[in-house]
Amino acid sequence: MRLTGLVLIIFASHLLAAEKEALIDESHFLPIEHPAIGYSSASPSDRIAELQAQLSSGELKLVFDRKFGFLPSVLDALDIPVSSQMLVFSKTSFQATRISPQTPRALYHSDDLAVGWVQGGTVLELASVDPKLGAIFYSLDQRPSDRPAFRLHNTECTGCHQGPATLGVPGLFVRSVYPDESGIMSRAPGFFTDHRSPLQERWGGWYVSGEHGTQRHLGNRTFEQFAPTTNLDLRPTGNLTDLTSLFDTDAYLSPHSDIVSLMTLEHQTRMTDLITRVGYEVRIALHDADTGQISDLDPASRSRIANTIEGMIRYMLFADEARLEAPVRGTTAFAEEFAAAGPRDEKGRSLRDLDLETRLLRYPCSYLIYSEQFAALPPPAKRIIYSRLWDVLTRRDQSEASRTLSETDRQAIKEILVATKPDLPAYWRD
């Protein structure tokens, strides 16, 4: 059954008018302690909480390594590939005094987890995506213990991880800055980057290993304080496949900071925050109106939810993606491992198939549609999302998200979703 006529009219009247404007007020903080959310009081059900339960019961043990502490064991327990390693040398962590261009912080990620390790650091830093709460933050002491325990740090971390960069909800972001030779940001502006960002704004303060042709980025270098940032010659620090001349790569699990890993992380941080924002908006509105139906809400609430969902749809379908001007190639097996993790249709296609010639994905629809976080969205929200996706993929509307997809992409995405997403409404298969 499709959406009611009332809801369809609401969407039609708001989306095209707002198409070229900001659909979401990213400066608006949502009330994370609202009774419908209870961010601080709720018991998390994310992957770290599950791992802690296994540790507490004795079902699983973590092994302490003399060089890396619990890092290798944690990555193994959470199924996070070492090939995802990214190295950031800007001082953007609470362990900033230990981070520099000579001693970058190592980050590892999967679709819903990120783990940070610092040389000589006292703790591992972890961020996990809770299906309903959004980003949850933990630390793990880096000292030998038979019963290591993850500690929550939500109150401290939301000081930076709830704001415009995270759409006003507890979230994740990737930041590109102009670091000086010590790793301190030497000047503004910086950039919060995702798949919409041109490469020339990305990865300031990060090491980047990989090939990207004539395209330029801000990684692999420092900047003199107050020096101009225009007309920079970025060629010497681009297309690096070996980072050993820049710092001691033997101090890390891998000598790489893979460009493809960086690109996937950038996509999924904002996508994760968008799913969180939709969940918060809908749960709060339905709770306050004491209803289970979006059609029962006041016009302002319906309009806000419509715009938030449309913003998510546009991003999910890469409507505003910055096109690649040359092929991109990583330096590890990350690209292959990433693609192998996705469900495939009968033709062998997956939403995790990478393109890397002119865009990130071969089939431009976010693979996070398979995430536990997406599955946990309130049913009224998912009904609207699936209806909007159906309209876009079948050309029933002419929104920006629809116009940027080729007919070939549209058909492939629809077929892949029908084959791999069992909870789709029945009309998708009619």
Question: What is the rounded distance in angstroms from the CA atom of residue 85 to the CA atom of residue 109?
Answer: 7
Print the domain residue range for 386: 5-37+267-428
Q: Please tell me the predicted confidence (pLDDT) of residue 228.
A: 60
Question: What is the rounded distance in angstroms from the CA atom of residue 42 to the CA atom of residue 424?
Answer: 29
Helix (H) or strand (E) holding 15: helix 5-18
Question: What is the rounded distance in angstroms from the CA atom of residue 13 to the CA atom of residue 264?
Answer: 34
The tokens describing 18, both together, are 């707002």
Domain total in the chain: 1
The tokens describing 200, both together, are 């020339």
On whether residue 221 sits in a domain, the answer given is: no
Q: Please tell me the predicted confidence (pLDDT) of residue 12.
A: 41
Strand-pair partners of 361: 354
Question: What is the rounded distance in angstroms from the CA atom of residue 264 to the CA atom of residue 117?
Answer: 20
On whether residue 390 sits in a domain, the answer given is: yes
On whether residue 328 sits in a domain, the answer given is: yes
Closest CA to 381 of 270, 300, 274: 274
Q: What does each of the 430 residues of the chain score in pLDDT, given as a tens digit? A: 455 433 443 444 444 444 445 789 998 999 999 999 999 999 999 999 999 999 999 999 999 999 999 999 999 999 999 999 999 999 988 889 999 999 999 999 999 999 999 999 999 999 999 999 999 999 999 999 999 999 999 888 888 899 999 999 999 999 999 999 999 987 777 899 999 999 999 999 999 999 999 999 999 999 987 666 666 777 889 999 999 999 999 999 999 999 999 999 999 999 999 999 999 999 999 999 999 999 999 999 999 999 999 999 999 999 999 999 999 999 999 999 999 998 999 999 999 999 999 999 999 999 999 999 999 999 999 999 999 999 999 988 777 777 789 999 999 999 999 999 999 999 999 8
Q: Please tell me the predicted confidence (pLDDT) of residue 5.
A: 39
Closest CA to 173 of 194, 147, 159: 194
On whether residue 25 sits in a domain, the answer given is: yes
On whether residue 174 sits in a domain, the answer given is: no
On whether residue 341 sits in a domain, the answer given is: yes
Q: Please tell me the predicted confidence (pLDDT) of residue 227.
A: 63
Structure-derived torsion over alpha carbons of residues 231, 220, 324, 24, reported in degrees to the nearest 10: -90
On whether residue 376 sits in a domain, the answer given is: yes
Closest CA to 14 of 272, 217, 311, 235: 311
Closest CA to 132 of 280, 269, 267, 307: 280
Question: What is the rounded distance in angstroms from the CA atom of residue 430 to the CA atom of residue 116?
Answer: 46
pTM over the 0.85 mark: yes
Question: What is the rounded distance in angstroms from the CA atom of residue 391 to the CA atom of residue 397?
Answer: 6
On whether residue 356 sits in a domain, the answer given is: yes
